[in-house]
Amino acid sequence: MKSNLSKLDVFSIVLGSIIGWGSFMLPGTKFLKEAGVINTTIGLILGALFIIIIQSSYHIMLENHNDEGGEFSFTYKYCGRNHGFIVGWFLLLAYLTIIPLNGTAFPLVIRKIFGDIFQFGYLYSIAGYEVYIGEVLISSLIVILFSYINIKGIKESARVQNIIALTLVSLVFIVFIAMFIKVDRANFLRNYIYDYKFNLGEVLKIFAITPFAFVGFDNIPQICKEFNFGAKKASLIAIASVSIGSLIYSILNMTTGLVYSPEEAVNLDWALGAGVLTVLGRIGFLLLVIALTAAVTSGINGFMISTSKLMGAISNHHMVPKKYAYVNKNGVFKNAILFATVISLIAPWFGREVILWIVDMSSLGAAIAYFYVCFIAFRLGKTRFKRAMSLLGIVASLLTVALLLVPTSPAALGAESRIALILWVALGIIFYMKVISGYKVESSKDSI
């Protein structure tokens, strides 16, 4: 396949995948309430440093492995089939959940502009979230649109992503600067600065979600066959994307904090939007909504690319049906894109709360993938420094897993997420046993 992605294309795909719906909503629902402004920023910076440490192992992976599937095919190559499946299964979960998460966010964006215009055809309520046929249709249409764009080829989807990412970053900075100039900063200083106290538990709550928040950086190994520059430049793009992504998360949190205290923010439907509307009026709010729309669509597009690459690689390694390895005339895994599309069209019918339960455990899946990459890179590292960085990555990955799984941890998964995790693991075991038995039968036929 001809390499045709530029450095800007790759940067846009990665950054657009990092900055999604959560960066606009988490300030009101999680960040300010649980960690304020400074501890949230510290947690995000530590998370970004964690990913940058992990990236040093990814650099080793890119130097030694140039195949689609990223962490999955890398683990398969150096640790075997069983471990490869574990990584692929959890990574597929992390990728797949982000598409419907952003897809179901699109109707929420429309709510901010037009109110309840698409809240028609009430179906049922799951975990307090009301599901409407109108909003399911809107979520489905946006997913189908990006499915169509991706089937036309990765260059086409990258071109769209460039426009989206540029719009997103520009508008976030414009809105923040305008807010900072216009707002009365006395309340901000009183709420978040004067009485600030460092709290490790608060910092760890934010740090624990960064594997999921920044998981978009590992789009790079998934699309490594699509660009023709080396591992060093690819790593620099990843580091730049994570750094800018962390900055934007922090800026959006601070923008919300400029207007509201934690208690005020958590009681609002969309604290960031309400604050911008109050201070900057409808024009500022419109700019923010455009930025939010860009974040939602860039997340769908970026992870549609990664999911199809991962699914195609898993199929090429005989762990899912061969049809998902089919490459169309545009050089993309068409059936794998359709698979991601179908899953993303089913998810909205379960309601957004159920999707959020699954998303919460996606950090665990990402951390497991990071652990394997660092472990293998530690074995492959040729210098003491590279092995030391890989060892730090191993420790940080295990810390993240512990933060999510240990019940007494400040960042422990909720009961619903733990149940979803158990079900996903059980489903994986059943699926793998079936795949293995089928593979053995196929191998025995080939040997006759």
Taking only the tens place, the pLDDT of each residue in 254-313 is 999 999 999 999 888 789 999 999 999 989 999 998 998 888 888 888 888 888 999 999
pLDDT grade, residue 442 (50/70/90)?
A: low
> Does residue 111 form part of some domain?
yes
Cα of 304 vs its chain's centroid, Å: 11
Cβ atoms of 363 and 50 within 8 Å: the answer is no
How far is 164 from 173, CA to CA, in rounded Å?
15
pLDDT digits (tens, 9 = 90+) for 183-211: 989 989 999 999 899 999 999 989 888 87
- Answer yes or no: is 83 within a domain: yes
pLDDT digits over 133-155, tens only? 999 999 999 999 989 988 988 88
The residue-averaged pLDDT of 83-88 equals 92
CATH of the domain at 380: 1.20.1740.10
| Cβ neighbours around 38 below 10 Å, total | 19
Structure token pair of residue 214 = 């920044």
pLDDT given for residue 415 in this prediction: 84
Query: Cα Rg for the chain, rounded, in angstroms?
Result: 21
pLDDT at 270: 85
- At 177, the pLDDT band (50, 70, 90 cuts) reads very high
Instruction: Give the pair of three-digit tokens for residue 393.
Output: 């990555």
State how far the Cα of 295 lies from the Cα of 298, in Å rounded to an integer: 5
Q: How far is CA 293 from the centre of its chain?
A: 16
3-state secondary structure of 131: strand
Tokens representing 215 are 């998981």
Eight-state DSSP code of residue 268: S
Contact 391, 399 (CB under 8 A): no
First to last CA, the chain: 34
Is residue 440 very low, low, confident or very high in pLDDT (cuts 50, 70, 90)?
low
Task: Give domain status of residue 447, yes or no.
Answer: no
Q: How far is CA 145 from CA 129, 138, 142, 301, 412, in A?
A: 25, 11, 5, 10, 36
Of 121, 141, 117, residue with least CA distance to 133: 121
Distance CA 72, CA 74 (A): 5
CB atoms within 10 A of CB 330: 13
- Give a yes or no: residue 420 inside a domain: yes
Question: Which residues, listed in sequence order, are joined to residue 126 by a DSSP beta bridge?
Answer: 129
Q: How far apart are CA 13 and CA 90, in angstroms?
A: 21
Q: How confident is the model at residue 171 (pLDDT cuts 50, 70, 90)?
A: very high
At 58, the amino acid letter reads Y
Closest CA to 12 of 131, 167, 140, 214: 167
Rounded CA gap, 362 and 303, in Å?
14
d(CA 161, CA 15): 10
Look at residue 1 and tell me whether its pLDDT is greater than 50.
Answer: no
> Tokens 């500022």 appear where?
284
The verdict on residue 445 lying in a domain is no
Alpha-carbon distance 205 to 58, whole Å?
Answer: 25
pTM for the structure as a whole: 0.85
Classify 9 as helix, strand or coil: helix
Cβ neighbours of residue 447 under 8 Å, at least 6 residues apart? none
Query: Alpha-carbon distance 219 to 226, whole Å?
Result: 11
CA dihedral (260, 179, 283, 281) positive or negative: positive
Residue at 141 is within a domain: yes
- Among 123-127, 359-363, 432-436, name the most confident range: 123-127
| Residue 1 within any structural domain of the chain | no
Q: Tell me the C-alpha to C-alpha distance, in Å, between residue 383 and each of 60, 377, 380, 389.
A: 11, 11, 9, 10
Domain that holds residue 313: 7-440
> 157: which 2 tokens?
């989807």
- SS3 of residue 125 by DSSP: strand
Residues 89-99 have pLDDT tens digits of: 998 888 888 88
- Reading the block at residue 86, the tokens are 């574990």
Distance of CA 349 to the CA centre of its chain: 21
DSSP-based three-state secondary structure for 36: coil
**In-domain check, residue 140:** yes
Helix (H) or strand (E) holding 396: helix 384-405
3 state DSSP class of 317: coil
Residues 6+ away with beta carbon under 8 Å from 300? 99, 102, 103, 142, 143, 146
If you average pLDDT over residues 45-65, what whole number do you get? Answer: 91
User: How many domains does the structure of the chain reveal?
Assistant: 1
- Structure token digits, residue 110: 């429309």
